Structure 1
Amino acid sequence: MAVRPEKQAIVAELKESFTNAQGIVLTSYKGLTVAQDTKLRAKMREAGVVYHVVKNTMLRFAAKDLGYEDLIQYLEGTTAVAYSSEDAIAPAKVIETFIKENNLATTETLTVKAGVVDGKVINAEGVKALASLPSREVLIAKLLGSMQAPVSGVVNVLQGTIRNAVYVLEAIRKQKESA
């Protein structure tokens, strides 16, 4: 099936965006009010996430060209795509937080369909697991803390050895003074 030039441009733009994206999340937004949608878009912008509604046929072409064939099965009904070129976790985290804050978990208003992280397609449960991960800054802080702990231990051991040497020298000095 031939794609018209204006639609080819949309597919090319999607492919470029997806190629540069660290994390991608597909959602169904059926039943979302205008106020909720506006609020969600604002949260996305704050987190540096691009969010827009896309036709499934355009997504299908882009997914096929990029080798994301596993994503095609999720392209039914309404579809919005959220992606970030900086943080793989941000799209998932913003959407899951928004769902919890607005009590949308029990409704079918805003649901996660699937996602892509590091070129791998993940299902809705995978996106939820991704959203529960700590932020990049927290992970880096934990890593640095765990790297710093052994160094602190070595410093304490060396200080203890030096302290003991000082005590021995002080004892020898006192012994020589009294003799």
Structure 2
Amino acid sequence: MDRNQKAEVVSALNAELAEVGVVVVTRNLGMTVAQSTVLRQKMREAGATYKVTKNRLARIALDGTDYAGLSDMLTGPVGLATSADPVAAAKVAVEFAKTNDKIEIVGGAMGGMLLDAEGVKALASMPSLDELRAKIIGLIQAPATKLATVIQTPASQLARVFNAYAEKDAT
């Protein structure tokens, strides 16, 4: 990789880090290409990305971002999982690490707050942004549904009474 390519990698990673909500640092312990591809696919499905870069380039890219504190975690073969949703990357990385012993969660950061491996696991156990939105919509819709049912019930009872009188008069 020549100097221009390295500069492009650093600037692209720096721009990505400026836009994400969470960064998870993982240590690769001899993952195969197939396993790495599966991890990347799962990340993509969740709206996250997973990149393996040279530690030196990653440290330069981290400089000047909220995630500058992650530099100490970049030792050995590591990968960076990132996502705009604060839970997506952590959730996929932790789930993948449970089923694959070739990857280890080192730590991460959410905004300016550094997380150790346990912090990333705790973050992964939280509901995602989409799940929270669904719960809020359900809570908002529930009173309206109950109100419609309550308003409709007396009218239907009145209709049954009128129908009973009509059937009584018909006989």
| Interval of TM-score (by shorter of Structure 1 and Structure 2) | 0.7 to 0.9
Which residue does 1:117 correspond to in 2? 110
- Report if the CA contact (8 A) 2:43-2:92 is conserved: yes
Q: Percent identity?
A: 40
Distance across 1 between alignment mates of 2:128 and 2:47: 14
Structure 2: which 5+ residue stretches go unaligned? 159-171
Distance across 2 between alignment mates of 1:111 and 1:74: 12
- Report if the CA contact (8 A) 2:25-2:107 is conserved: yes
Q: Output one character per residue of 1:94-151: Cα deviation in whole Å (capped at 9) or x when no partner.
A: 111112234x2xxxx2111222223433222121111111222221121223334455
Distance across 2 between alignment mates of 1:68 and 1:89: 16
Question: What SS does the corresponding residue of 2:76 show, helix, strand or coil?
Answer: coil
- Which residue, out of 89, 93, 104, partners 1:95? 93
RMSD: 3.0
TM-score (norm 2): 0.74
Structure 1: which 5+ residue stretches go unaligned? 167-179
Question: What SS does the corresponding residue of 1:80 show, helix, strand or coil?
Answer: strand
Which residue does 2:135 correspond to in 1? 142
- Runs of 4+ in structure 1 deviating by more than 4 angstroms, as ranges, are 149-163
CA gap of 1:69–1:38, structure 2 versus 1, over 3 A, is closer
Alignment length (residue pairs): 162
- Which residue, out of 110, 132, 137, partners 2:125? 132
CA gap of 1:46–1:145, structure 2 versus 1, over 3 A, is closer
Distance across 2 between alignment mates of 1:144 and 1:75: 40
Range that drifts further, 111-120 or 88-97: 111-120
AA in 2 matched with 1:122: L
Distance across 1 between alignment mates of 2:125 and 2:91: 7
Distance across 2 between alignment mates of 1:157 and 1:25: 49
- For residues 8-87 of structure 1, the aligned pairs below 5 Å read 8-85=7-84, 87=85
| TM superposition shift of 1:7 | 2.6
Distance across 2 between alignment mates of 1:116 and 1:51: 15
Question: What SS does the corresponding residue of 1:31 show, helix, strand or coil?
Answer: coil
Distance across 1 between alignment mates of 2:55 and 2:103: 17
